[in-house]
């Protein structure tokens, strides 16, 4: 087994997907908690990740910067595990689809809203931010329909796809968009975040931030 994976992340960021996945698997991460946004407040981080986005995972010579890909990597690198669906299994294509849908379609518009309506309101782009918030609301229909008669997104079990989508729903509680989330998806989110590993991931990030003096 190679050295411990290093996760560069910020509190509440998409790095929680990686923390949660690692907690489910019992993988010990080395945390580097960054102030947000790191592009402005941690200039040294550009040397690790030229985009200066969070998260980034450094392991085995890789530096990965896409949160859903990091979660998939952890689940397969330390697999086999029920958290990942393999080629040939039921719902393999659906698993990959929701894994990427979670970030590209339902997390992304929230980040635009966060930037223009919360972090940089003086730029005068609040209207664009609000438009992306409405985009977020509309794009929830796919997961809502998928979960109408299912407990989990794929293969009748909890997978990394659930971690990825649940984080997107959780983010809405942090940035003031939870009123746009249908009750059925709130119930799904509540079931997923009731898992002990979710609370463990939150606590590990909190402890790391405290130890690094960035509480």
**150 and 171 in one domain?**
yes
**213 — pLDDT class (breaks 50, 70, 90):** confident
pLDDT of residue 42: 93
Could you tell me if 131 and 207 lie in one domain? no
User: What value does the mean pLDDT of the chain take?
Assistant: 95
Are residue 180 and residue 103 in the same domain, yes or no?
yes
| CATH number, residue 120 | 1.20.1050.10
pLDDT over 90 at 23, yes or no: yes
100 and 167, same domain (yes or no): yes
92-144: pLDDT as tens digits? 999 999 999 999 999 999 999 999 999 888 888 999 999 999 999 999 999 99
Confidence of residue 215 (pLDDT cuts 50, 70, 90): very low
Q: What is the CATH number of the domain that holds 24?
A: 3.40.30.10
Contact 168, 175 (CB under 8 A): no
d(CA 147, CA 211): 39
Q: Which domain covers residue 101, as residue numbers?
A: 92-194
pLDDT greater at residue 119 or residue 151 = 151
Kindly report the pTM of this predicted structure.
Answer: 0.95
How many Cβ atoms are within 10 Å of 91's Cβ, its own excluded?
Answer: 18
The closest alpha carbon to 83, from 175, 17, 173, belongs to 17
| 157-167 confidence digits (pLDDT tens) | 999 999 999 99
């Amino acid at each position: 087994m190679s050295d411990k994976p290093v996760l560069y992340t910020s509190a509440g960021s998409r790095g929680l997907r990686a923390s949660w996945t690692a907690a489910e698997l019992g993988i010990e991460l080395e945390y580097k908690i960054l102030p947000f946004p790191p592009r402005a407040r941690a200039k040294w981080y550009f040397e690790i990740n030229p985009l200066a986005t969070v998260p980034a995972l450094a392991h085995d010579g890789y530096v990965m910067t896409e949160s859903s890909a990091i979660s998939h990597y952890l689940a397969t690198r330390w697999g086999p595990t029920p958290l990942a669906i393999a080629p040939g299994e039921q719902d393999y294509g659906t698993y990959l689809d929701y894994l990427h849908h979670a970030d590209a379609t339902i997390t992304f518009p929230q980040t635009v809203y966060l930037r223009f309506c919360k972090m940089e309101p003086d730029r005068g782009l609040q209207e664009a931010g609000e438009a992306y918030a409405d985009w977020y609301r509309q794009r929830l229909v796919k997961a809502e329909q998928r979960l109408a008669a299912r407990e989990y997104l794929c293969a009748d079990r909890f997978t990394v796809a659930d971690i990825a989508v649940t984080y997107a729903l959780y983010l809405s509680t942090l940035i003031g968009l939870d009123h746009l989330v249908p009750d059925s998806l709130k119930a799904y989110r509540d079931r997923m975040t009731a898992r002990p590993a979710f609370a463990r991931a939150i606590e590990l990030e909190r402890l790391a931030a405290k130890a690094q003096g960035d509480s």
